[in-house]
Structure 1
Amino acid sequence: MSTHNAPTQQSSLNKLLIRKLMPLLVIVYVISFLDRTNIALAKASMGIDLGMSSAAYGLGAGLFFLTYALFEIPSNLVMHKVGARFWITRIMITWGLLSIGMAFVRGETSFYVMRLLLGAAEAGLFPGVMLYLTYWFGREERARATGYFLLGVCIANIVGGPLGGALLELDGALGFHGWQWLFVIEGLPAVLLAYVVWKVLPDRPTKASWLPRAEAEALEKRLAAEQDSRSGGRSAHSFRTCLRDRQVWLAIFVYFCHQLTIYTTIFFLPGIIGKSGHFSPFAIGLLSATPWLAAAVGAATLPRFASDSVKSRRILVGGLVVMASGLLIAAYSTPAIGLLGVSLSASMFFVVQSIIFTFPSSRLSGSALAGGLGLVNSCGLLGGFVGPTVMGLIEQSTGRAMNGLVALAVALVIAAVCSLRLRHGAEERQTTVGTAAAREAV
């Protein structure tokens, strides 16, 4: 490969990898998000049929993330050993069957148990894919690939709203409630798609039949060299490395505040829209999809500009501030303007998320990378437990769920300030070397 043609050939390879890998991974994430969040649309009718309060619903929505977080790190370490194809297939089968099982809950206790089991079954999917992408993409391209992957969340919420609303209107068919149809029909695709993942998804470049052997080996060598360079003379392979890294814990805090916002929006936006007017379940589903159109535009366009540490940090800080501004608009305005405010906030949801993970992944390798990404996601996703739980309590005590949006905005501003101190591994090493050289010169 000549020096002149190298950038062109690298660009062509990245386009091939995105075309071959990302569509299937995006579909997997679409189904994953439908199955973990469809209780948002089921909330009203399920609450009536089972006699559940808003606080009980919020707790059940959040319990998913406790077991999800608990099993994230073990799941990622297992995937690092057994391969992505087998492990993602296993995850999909178990979560699909449990999602179908949600149709048969009979009260608060069974609701809590099924949400806990669903979280344990799905644990490891997101950080597993984040780890999987490091097998195929270098740091400069990974934020872009992650942005495409996160389009799955947007698609799930765009499609899931109208689809879920239509399924709820099957209420009474064959003696089933509408929310039972919702869980069964949206749970089946996960089990069916697991077979496709098993047959199609390659574990790494040298296992891909569509990639020339020489090109696959060169890609693996290049990425291995990039991972080795992260250590900067330190042992970055041990899981204990990430536990001692302050930058990893800073990324966790920022991600926690980010997840507070996303899951509160997912679980409570349909209810907020429903209370603002006389809408059918299908109309509520359509209106709930609006912010995710904005999120899809952001995820598809902005992460590609995060090509280095400085640009990544600027986009990250700006995205968090925009998210906070949108929530404040939603909290203090009319329902129509409020929906636009939530859409403004949502436009940065996955721009921020795709960039956050580039910071810890630029500093770790080996099992530390697998465990570190699991650690960031598991601790950050506790925001998915705290956010809905607190919002449920606020809605029940004040009668107005919008009151919690101000607290979320404050958390996002704090996260933006903290993000100013995030550093990629290479940037931190350059700063350290520059400081040492300056001291020697003096």
Structure 2
Amino acid sequence: MSSTLSQNIRAVPAEEQKALTSLLFRKLMPLLVLAYIISFLDRTNIALAKSQMVVDIGISAAAYGLGAGLFFLSYAALEIPSNLIMHRVGARLWITRIMVTWGLLSAGMAFVTGETSFYVMRLLLGAAEAGLFPGVMLYLTYWFGRKERARAIGLFLLGVCVANIISGPLAGALLEMDGVMGWRGWQWMFVLEGLPATFFALVVWKKLPDGPATAPWLTKAQAQQIQRQLDAEQAEQSGHAGHSFKAALADRQIWLAIFVYFCHQISIYTVIFFLPGIIGTYGKLTPLQIGLLNSVPWIAASIGAATLPKLAVTPQSCRKMLLGGLLLMAAGLVTAAVAGPVVALVGFSMTAFMFFVVQSVVFLFPASRLSGAALAGGLALVNTCGLIGGFIGPSVMGLIEQSTGRTTNGLLIIAVLLVVAALASTRLRQGQESS
């Protein structure tokens, strides 16, 4: 059967296949990227609000780090059930639900009054957004084969880059609304950045198809061709991982991918939540100036995400990209920890350059070994365990800042973790490759 499917694929003219792939990218990726931009603005804007919030509601550096990280506990706890639900009810309905609830809760952050309400709202926000990223990772498997999927993931992760590029100047400008109508600047920031998610959910509901079979802009023949391609690729993948979620749990390669991703997530969320504060120690800077400087590493991240993932077309090239990317991230953090302001910002940019290259490539390994419900649950499992790093990183960094007075001390510890992850990545295997 696999041979027959492969013959059907080869019969399609290259130009026709290229045009179909281009159509998928044009119709799907702008919508998904914009959703992720809005998501990341709402997830991470507390980093820019930190300086005002710690004074207004009286939270310590450790409490801030804990609150930043609590988002990822509820997010991680609900990711697997969220992805399994999306597998059953469809992407259109579930992603719309996610966006409505997270938008309302993000805006509700404007009303926190102390540590307890800060913790509760961060937990609720994580629960509301749970499943968006692994849901999109699953959704992309409905449309793209392995060779195009790394490129699609890289483009999707551009949303994080764009969000972090614009979040600094945008949040800086909103924070300067301090005093308007009696509200603090951070309150205006949460409301004006949170509500757009709810409104954009209506666009998702109207425009996002559940899969090729329901896409109004595809012909029946095009939808069938996409499915034949995906079926052929699935038939050629190794069957040793099985099709059950239990089988995914038993695959050591899945857990190796989880470890690499875990270390990666510690580094990325530490930078996201603490970079503005570190930049604030460089001199007497306004919120807008801090926001503008905070954007610099994310410009580097966008360049990496847009250019390198498309080169990950074989298992060997994927491993090389992970090894080089993780080592470069570690070198950047060491530079940022020991150098002066200008060189430190270069170091952060080195690390950020590979953030989403590594993230887009690492998901190719578990996706090549799973299918069906195991694919939905397995991708969510990787992201769930990885995001525990999103809790640990900020929490530990907050404690280090409070106990030593220097946030940068924690960067050296994270750099060591990245080196270990780089070595582990050389053992990752795809599909039929032997472990």
TM-score (norm 2): 0.97
Match of 2:422 among 409, 416, 420: 416
Q: CA deviation at 1:228?
A: 3.6
1:222 to 229, 236, 242: 229
Deviations 1:105-144 (Å, cap 9, x if unpaired)?
0000000000000000000000000000000000111000
Q: Does 2:279 correspond to 1:273?
A: yes
Q: 1:174-213 CA deviation, whole Å, 9 max, x = no partner?
A: 0111000010000011000000000000000011111111
Distance of 1:346 and 1:301 partners within structure 2: 14
Q: Does 1:175 align with 2:182?
A: yes
Asked if the contact 2:238–2:432 (Cα under 8 Å) also holds between the matched residues in 1, the reply is: no
Answer yes or no: is the 8 Å Cα contact 2:74–2:124 preserved in 1.
yes
**1:12-48 CA deviation, whole Å, 9 max, x = no partner?**
2111111110001000000000000000000010000
- Listed as ranges, the matches of 1:365-384 within 5 Å are 365-384=371-390
Report the counterpart of residue 22 of structure 1 in structure 2. 29
8 A contact 1:228–1:365 mirrored in 2: no
1:305 partnered with 2:343:
no
SS of match in other structure, 2:433: helix
In structure 2, how many angstroms separate the alpha carbons of the residues matched to 1:252 and 1:189? 33
2:9 and 2:228 in contact (8 A); partners too: no
Instruction: State how far apart, in whole Å, the 2-side matches of 1:388 and 1:139 are.
Output: 33
Q: Counterpart of 1:427 in 2: which secondary structure?
A: coil
Matched, 1:8 2:19: no
1:381 is paired with a residue of what secondary structure? helix
Task: Assess if the C-alpha contact under 8 Å between 2:9 and 2:229 holds in 1.
Answer: no
Which residue of the partner structure matches residue 357 of structure 2? 351
Give the Cα–Cα distance (whole angstroms) in 2 for the partners of residues 293 and 241 of structure 1.
40
Distance 1:11 1:309 in 2: 23
Cα distance in structure 2, aligned partners of 1:267 and 1:2: 46
Aligned to 1:123: 130
| Distance of 2:49 and 2:115 partners within structure 1 | 14
CA distance in 2 between partners of 1:408 and 1:416 (Å): 12
For 2:304 and 2:294, the matched residues in 1 are separated by 17
> For the aligned residues, what is the CA RMSD?
1.2
Looking at structure 2, the residues matched to 400 and 141 of structure 1 have their Cα atoms a distance apart, in angstroms, of 43
SS in 2 for 1:174: helix
Identity %: 66
Distance 2:431 2:126 in 1: 32
Aligned partner of 2:258 in structure 1 is: 252
- Using the alignment, how far apart are the partners of 1:190 and 1:256 within structure 2? 27
Q: Distance in 1 between matches of 2:347 and 2:262?
A: 21
* Contact residue 236 and residue 366 of structure 1 kept, 8 A: no
Shift of 1:94: 0.4
Give structure 1 stretches of 5+ with no counterpart: 432-442
Question: 1:220: Cα distance to partner?
Answer: 1.3
User: Once the 2 structures are TM-superposed, how far is the Cα of residue 224 of structure 1 from its aligned partner?
Assistant: 2.5
The residue number in structure 2 matching 1:53 is 60
Report how many residues are paired.
Answer: 428
What is the rounded CA distance, in whole Å, between the counterparts of 1:5 and 1:242 in structure 2?
Answer: 34
Alpha-carbon distance between aligned partners in 2 of 1:369 and 1:393, rounded to the nearest angstrom = 37
Q: 1:264 aligns with which of 267, 270, 274?
A: 270
Asked if the contact 1:68/1:123 (under 8 Å) is kept, the reply is yes
Which residue of the partner structure matches residue 405 of structure 2? Answer: 399
Matches within 5 A, 1:89-128: 89-128=96-135
Residues 252 and 105 of structure 1, relative CA distance in 2, 3 Å threshold: same
1:7 is matched by which residue type in structure 2?
A
Report the Cα distance in structure 1 between the residues aligned to 2:305 and 2:242, rounded to whole angstroms. Answer: 30
Amino acid in the other structure paired with 2:155:
Y
Q: Taking structure 1 as reference, are residues 2 and 158 closer, same or farther at Cα in structure 2, changes over 3 Å only?
A: closer
Shift of 1:227: 2.3
Which of 52, 68, 71 is 2:75 aligned to? 68
Q: How does 1:274-353 map to 2 (within 5 A)?
A: 274-353=280-359
373-382 or 1-10, larger mean C-alpha shift: 1-10
Deviation at 1:235, TM superposition (A): 6.2
Normalization by structure 1: what TM-score? 0.95
CA contact (8 A) 1:230 1:236 kept: no
Does structure 2 retain, via aligned residues, the 8 Å contact 1:57–1:392? Answer: yes
CA–CA distance in structure 2, aligned partners of residues 82 and 158 of structure 1? 34
Partner Cα distance (1:20, 1:67) in 2: 32
Deviation at 1:7, TM superposition (A): 2.8
Match of 2:3 in 1: none
Q: Residues 186 and 2 of structure 1: is their aligned pair in 2 closer, same or farther, counting only changes over 3 Å? A: closer
Q: Which runs of 5+ in 2 are unaligned?
A: 1-7
Aligned residue for 1:436? none
